[in-house]
Structure 1
Amino acid sequence: MKQKPSRGKGGKSRIDKKESKWAYIKKNYVLYLFLLPAVLLVFIFNYIPMYGVLIAFQDFSVTKGIFGSDWVGLDHFRSFLTSPNFIRIFMNTIKLSVYGLIIGFPVPIILALMLNQVRRMNIKKNIQLVIYAPHFISTVVIVGMLFIFLSPAGPINALITQFTGNPVSFLSDPAYFRTIFITSGIWQGAGFSSIVYVAALSNADPQLHDAATLDGASLLQRIWHIDVQVIKPIMAVLFILAIGGIMGVGFEKAYLLQTDMNIPASEIIDTYVYKRGLLAGDWSFGAAVGLFNTVIGLILLVIANTVVKRLNGETLY
């Protein structure tokens, strides 16, 4: 006797679902051909080099190579976790990321909501040009500008000196490092990050605003109940991605802003990996610390995706 195929939700069998998927792929094979180069690029440049993480478990030697170096297991991970600098470096990374996320994540959303209320297109385009422009300035130039403006002889200290009589050591005092790092990052990236929200807000039905206005809803009520609801799915996805990248603070700016005086606050995992792994030539230890950083980021990504999915129903995967 022939067994009947198991039925899933909606009365469709599993076999029918598989057949419908293959039928969809055959029907839209051109789209998959367009996607193929991107998949190949990701596979070649992101997945194939992953074999290099093997050196994190070895006492890597350039002359012996990856497959000839001695295997040491988790020794480099233990060395990093038990080092006297671990807590300070780890907490510096977490603080910069968490403070930057809490302060910086809402800013592009607020900018997009404000831009959406500008009705004159010429004014709106000029505002967008101004707030998008910092994104295209290189990190080196941004840091150079910060050194000029915040130096003891800079314009900001000149103004402070007129009122207090003494300049402030912004660039050498560890207490100011996080503030400078986070605020400059928000200034540079918030405008460009708002593009995706501005694009999503264009899908909001104008009739909803008209109906809400007739019902007596205020501007803030219309923004909250219409505009925010339109961009909520995108907010959820970008928040999950931001949590996943919480360990990737940004090596370039942290390293360029780093001085001998502010190292207690500016030394993060990325700069530590660069110094130990590349400058000191301890390849295996640097790879182990980098792998530790990546694994923590992956765990945070999975946790954030699970939590947001349960609270909001939106998911990254």
Structure 2
Amino acid sequence: MFLKKCRMELHSNKWLYLMFLPVFIWFMVFCYLPMGWMIIAFQKFDIVKGIKDSTWVGWQNFETVFKDPYFFRLLKNTLLMNVYGLIFGFPLPIILAIAFNEIQRKRFKKVTQTISYLPYFISSVVVMSMVINFLSPDGLVNMVLNKFGMDNILFLQIPKYFRTIFISTGIWQGTGFSAIVYMAALAGISSEQYEAATVDGAGKFQKMLYITLPGLVPTIVIMLLISLGSILNVGHERIILIYNPAIYETADVFNSYVYREGILNHRYGYTQALTIFQNVVGFVLVYTANKITRKLDGTTLW
């Protein structure tokens, strides 16, 4: 009976499943099949011997993770990067989407939306190269500072500047694209609600406060839950492109450390244990936050 229903479902929606097939293959190859390599977290993995013949060490790699002298520095930097990103970056796509929603001139709206999306499609290598050129000793920023009689600042050599640089570039690159999700949610709000509010004498601010924002709440909650899942994951690609030993104090995060120790120093078992720790913490946070939001307003991921 079950197989018959599956055949009927596949036959009736064959084109939809065919379109989904590349996505399914991608997830299987790059997300699910690599999970088998999680076992190396419990081994002293030797790339020559392979998984089968590598020495089994049990929880030793996890013990090494928590005893690592750099562990708490990595934890602090990773958390601060994500927390600051949430505080300063999370509200901006919402504000931008609401602003786009209020624009009446369609041509101007399309142009501004396109301009806001463009940075997302610029390669991280290009973006970080721009950052290096602008902030170098003879770059644009220091040239402006010199015009005002100030000395050059070595932005990429001083630890205290790194978080601001990294978070700012991330916000600039991703805000416009992230706003698309909220624009889609706004499109689902019935225009009749706005018309009824107009009849009742509500102004633009009141409409935004009592119609637009409540309509966005479920989407905001879902996006926040997804963000919590990656609270211990920071995109290391941009970090690796501009960091150096002089700013490890604030720039080094779990993912950059995994790259350095795993790929460059060949500590595969250790870095796999560190990655599992990150993912377990992320899952616990998402699961807990999901249960809380379910009790508060019924909005959940699952």
Q: Which residue of 1 aligns with 2:145?
A: 160
Question: How far does residue 40 in structure 1 lie from its aligned partner after superposition?
Answer: 5.0
Question: How far does residue 190 in structure 1 lie from its aligned partner after superposition?
Answer: 0.4
The one of 96, 102, 105 aligned to 1:117: 102
Separation in structure 2 between the aligned mates of residue 32 and residue 83 of structure 1, nearest angstrom: 52
Task: Map residues 124-143 of structure 1 onto 2, 5 A cutoff.
Answer: 124-143=109-128
8 A Cα contact 1:278 1:286, kept in partner: no
Q: Are positions 1:31 and 2:16 aligned together?
A: no
Task: Point out where structure 1 has 5 or more consecutive residues left out of the alignment.
Answer: 1-18
Question: How far does residue 283 in structure 1 lie from its aligned partner after superposition?
Answer: 1.3
The one of 259, 284, 287 aligned to 2:244: 259
Look up the equivalent residue of 1:109 and give its one-letter code: I
Q: Are positions 1:315 and 2:300 aligned together?
A: yes
Shift >6 Å, 4+ stretches: 21-27
Superposition TM-score, scaled by structure 2 size:
0.92
Look up the equivalent residue of 1:34 and give its one-letter code: L
Separation in structure 2 between the aligned mates of residue 310 and residue 169 of structure 1, nearest angstrom: 50
Higher helix share: 2
Q: Which residue of 1 aligns with 2:216?
A: 231
Question: How far does residue 41 in structure 1 lie from its aligned partner after superposition?
Answer: 4.4
Question: How far does residue 43 in structure 1 lie from its aligned partner after superposition?
Answer: 3.4
The structure-2 alpha-carbon separation of the partners of 1:206 and 1:158, relative to structure 1 and needing over 3 Å to count, comes to same
Deviations 1:127-157 (A, max 9, x none): 0111000000000100011111112222222
Coordinate RMSD, CA, aligned: 2.1
SS at match of 1:316: coil
Question: How far does residue 248 in structure 1 lie from its aligned partner after superposition?
Answer: 1.7
Task: Map residues 1-317 of structure 1 onto 2, 5 A cutoff.
Answer: 28-29=9-10, 30-31=12-13, 34-35=16-17, 37=21, 38-317=23-302
Question: How far does residue 27 in structure 1 lie from its aligned partner after superposition?
Answer: 6.2
Superposition TM-score, scaled by structure 1 size:
0.88
The structure-2 alpha-carbon separation of the partners of 1:27 and 1:215, relative to structure 1 and needing over 3 Å to count, comes to farther
Look up the equivalent residue of 2:124 and give its one-letter code: T
Separation in structure 2 between the aligned mates of residue 228 and residue 203 of structure 1, nearest angstrom: 13
Question: How far does residue 48 in structure 1 lie from its aligned partner after superposition?
Answer: 2.4
Q: Which residue of 2 aligns with 1:6?
A: none
Separation in structure 2 between the aligned mates of residue 33 and residue 58 of structure 1, nearest angstrom: 44
8 A Cα contact 1:200 1:230, kept in partner: yes
Look up the equivalent residue of 1:31 and give its one-letter code: N
Separation in structure 2 between the aligned mates of residue 290 and residue 307 of structure 1, nearest angstrom: 26
Question: How far does residue 26 in structure 1 lie from its aligned partner after superposition?
Answer: 7.0
Look up the equivalent residue of 2:200 and give its one-letter code: D
How many residue pairs get aligned? The number is: 298
Look up the equivalent residue of 2:241 and give its one-letter code: L
8 A Cα contact 1:247 1:296, kept in partner: yes
8 A Cα contact 1:57 1:71, kept in partner: yes
Task: Point out where structure 2 has 5 or more consecutive residues left out of the alignment.
Answer: none
Separation in structure 2 between the aligned mates of residue 226 and residue 105 of structure 1, nearest angstrom: 20
Question: How far does residue 162 in structure 1 lie from its aligned partner after superposition?
Answer: 2.7
The structure-2 alpha-carbon separation of the partners of 1:75 and 1:26, relative to structure 1 and needing over 3 Å to count, comes to same
Separation in structure 2 between the aligned mates of residue 234 and residue 196 of structure 1, nearest angstrom: 8
Question: How far does residue 164 in structure 1 lie from its aligned partner after superposition?
Answer: 4.5
Calculate percent identity across the aligned residue pairs.
37
